[in-house]
């Protein structure tokens, strides 16, 4: 018999003898159930051929590595992207985890697979942070439908532009009963064919009785410097020239897909995108000069001075008086 096989047999015999002896001791001391649970935990948490499982919890700009929690009473991981708090077993790997905080969880089996779950019950900030972690500015996934984006998000990041990020997030929030709408801005400076405006998300926060604007494309929202109260899109737009606001981070993920962010003719926007991200305040001062709110397929604005210019930009840009605008949306 080969030496390796003999060695394995000896190890197995010694292990069994040890467990039997330990079981006898546990039985006499009344701890047999604890021993069985411990042995089950050790055996079940073996990699089982799947390799090491690394789990991260992500919220705001923090990343925390988690350990497995055992499997007693755990249910199988739901297939949905968004799941409630609970104790879940990761497939057939035997690894179990207690997901007791709202936010984003990433399960990484190196060289094999990635799994991504959002735990959400009521913490809107945690949900928005999770979305910000998932999306990165790019256009590789821009042609995907909502369902396709949601399916991909279960195992990967999404690479989409600001308008599609905001539209996807709006539907995600709406499905959870959260009022949200797409908003944005446009510049009054000279127009080009690639960088005249921006799209973001406004979310109604009942606890504040106020709409707040979130730039999920750039992982941020905005607060007043003195009161520290969060801003809506009109308040933010009024401050971009003077930069009289503070930025709050929603996540610390990579903001731009510089490797695959390309125009139809093959031109890569990497250089341009990196320059913008190095100085977002200057960019906001350009693209957020006139606030816009989307409703029924139109983008409404109240800048009467530049009405003709702005309505000529797109057929779905629509002027309404400021008082009407504020009453309609706020």
Please say whether the beta carbons of 70 and 45 come within 8 A. yes
Distance CA 187, CA 202 (A): 19
For the chain, the C-alpha Rg in angstroms (whole number) is 26
Q: Examine the fold and report which residue of 91, 121, 151 is the final residue of a domain before the chain moves on.
A: 121
Q: Examine the fold and report which residue of 121, 142, 173 is the final residue of a domain before the chain moves on.
A: 121
Instruction: Answer yes or no: do 53 and 201 share one domain.
Output: no
Task: Let me know if residue 215 belongs to a domain.
Answer: yes
- The DSSP result for 165-203, as a single string, is HHHHHHHHHHHTT--EEEEEEE-SS---SS-SEEEEEEE
pLDDT of the residue at 209: 97
Query: Which letter does DSSP use for residue 245 in this model?
Result: S
Distances (CA, A) of 82 to 120, 127, 177: 6, 9, 13
Q: Give Cα 297 distance to the centre of its chain.
A: 26
Query: Which letter does DSSP use for residue 122 in this model?
Result: S
Structure-derived torsion over alpha carbons of residues 61, 67, 71, 75, reported in degrees to the nearest 10: 10
Task: Let me know if residue 275 belongs to a domain.
Answer: yes
φ, ψ for residue 67, nearest 5 deg: -105, 160
Q: What is the pLDDT of residues 42-94, one digit of tens each?
A: 323 334 344 688 999 999 999 999 988 766 668 889 999 999 999 998 876 66
Instruction: Answer yes or no: do 195 and 241 share one domain.
Output: yes
pLDDT of the residue at 95: 76
Distances (CA, A) of 269 to 144, 157, 243, 253, 305: 20, 19, 26, 19, 33
Q: Examine the fold and report which residue of 121, 150, 173 is the final residue of a domain before the chain moves on.
A: 121
What range defines the domain where residue 95 resides? 45-121
Task: Let me know if residue 4 belongs to a domain.
Answer: no
Please say whether the beta carbons of 190 and 121 come within 8 A. no
pLDDT of the residue at 176: 98
Instruction: Answer yes or no: do 160 and 233 share one domain.
Output: yes
Distance CA 300, CA 233 (A): 12
Task: Let me know if residue 145 belongs to a domain.
Answer: yes
Instruction: Answer yes or no: do 211 and 300 share one domain.
Output: yes
pLDDT of the residue at 91: 73
Instruction: Answer yes or no: do 155 and 270 share one domain.
Output: yes
Burial of 8 (0-12, 13-18, 19+ CB in 10 A): exposed
Task: Let me know if residue 13 belongs to a domain.
Answer: no
Number of domains in the chain: 2
Contacts of 203 (CB under 8 A, 6+ apart): 124, 128, 173, 178, 179, 180, 211, 212, 214
Task: Let me know if residue 244 belongs to a domain.
Answer: yes
pLDDT of the residue at 92: 67
Please say whether the beta carbons of 316 and 294 come within 8 A. no
Distance CA 177, CA 195 (A): 33
pLDDT of the residue at 74: 85
Distances (CA, A) of 303 to 96, 172, 211, 284, 309: 56, 31, 20, 18, 10
Task: Let me know if residue 9 belongs to a domain.
Answer: no
Q: What is the pLDDT of residues 155-192, one digit of tens each?
A: 999 999 999 999 999 999 999 999 999 999 999 999 99
| Segments of the chain with pLDDT less than 70 | 1-51, 70-73, 92-94
Task: Let me know if residue 20 belongs to a domain.
Answer: no
Instruction: Answer yes or no: do 100 and 224 share one domain.
Output: no
Instruction: Answer yes or no: do 117 and 132 share one domain.
Output: no
Instruction: Answer yes or no: do 166 and 223 share one domain.
Output: yes
pLDDT of the residue at 2: 45
Instruction: Answer yes or no: do 139 and 91 share one domain.
Output: no
Instruction: Answer yes or no: do 74 and 219 share one domain.
Output: no
Instruction: Answer yes or no: do 179 and 324 share one domain.
Output: yes
Instruction: Answer yes or no: do 141 and 111 share one domain.
Output: no
Query: Which letter does DSSP use for residue 48 in this model?
Result: T
pLDDT of the residue at 52: 83
Distance CA 81, CA 117 (A): 5
pTM of the model: 0.83
């Amino acid at each position: 018999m080969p030496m390796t096989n003999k060695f394995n047999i000896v190890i197995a015999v010694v292990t069994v003898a040890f467990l039997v002896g330990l079981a006898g001791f546990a039985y006499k001391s009344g701890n047999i159930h604890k021993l069985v649970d411990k042995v089950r935990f050790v055996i079940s948490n073996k990699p089982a051929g799947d390799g090491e499982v690394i789990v991260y919890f992500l919220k705001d700009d923090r990343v925390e590595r988690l350990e497995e929690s055992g499997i007693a009473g755990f249910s199988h991981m739901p297939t949905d992207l968004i799941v409630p708090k609970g104790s879940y077993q990761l497939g057939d790997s035997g690894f179990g985890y207690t997901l007791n905080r709202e936010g984003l969880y990433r399960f990484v089996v190196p060289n094999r697979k990635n799994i991504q779950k959002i735990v959400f019950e009521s913490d809107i900030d945690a949900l928005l942070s999770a979305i910000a972690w998932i999306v990165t500015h790019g256009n590789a996934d821009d042609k995907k439908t909502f369902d396709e984006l949601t399916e991909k998000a279960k195992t990967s990041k999404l690479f989409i532009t600001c308008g599609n990020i905001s539209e996807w997030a709006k539907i995600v929030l709406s499905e959870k009963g959260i009022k949200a709408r797409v908003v944005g801005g446009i510049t009054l400076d000279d127009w080009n064919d690639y960088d005249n405006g921006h799209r973001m998300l406004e979310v109604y926060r009942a606890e504040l009785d106020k709409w707040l604007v979130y730039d999920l494309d750039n992982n941020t929202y905005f607060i007043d410097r003195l009161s520290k109260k969060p801003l809506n899109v009109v308040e933010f737009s009024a401050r971009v020239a003077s930069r009289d606001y503070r930025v709050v981070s929603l996540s610390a993920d990579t903001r731009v897909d510089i490797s695959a962010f390309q125009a139809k003719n093959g031109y890569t926007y990497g250089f341009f995108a990196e320059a913008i991200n190095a100085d977002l305040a200057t960019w906001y001062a350009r693209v957020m000069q006139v606030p816009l709110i989307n409703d029924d397929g139109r983008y409404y604005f109240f800048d009467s001075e530049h009405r003709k210019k702005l309505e000529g930009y797109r057929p779905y840009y629509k002027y309404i008086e400021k008082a009407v605008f504020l009453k309609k949306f706020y």
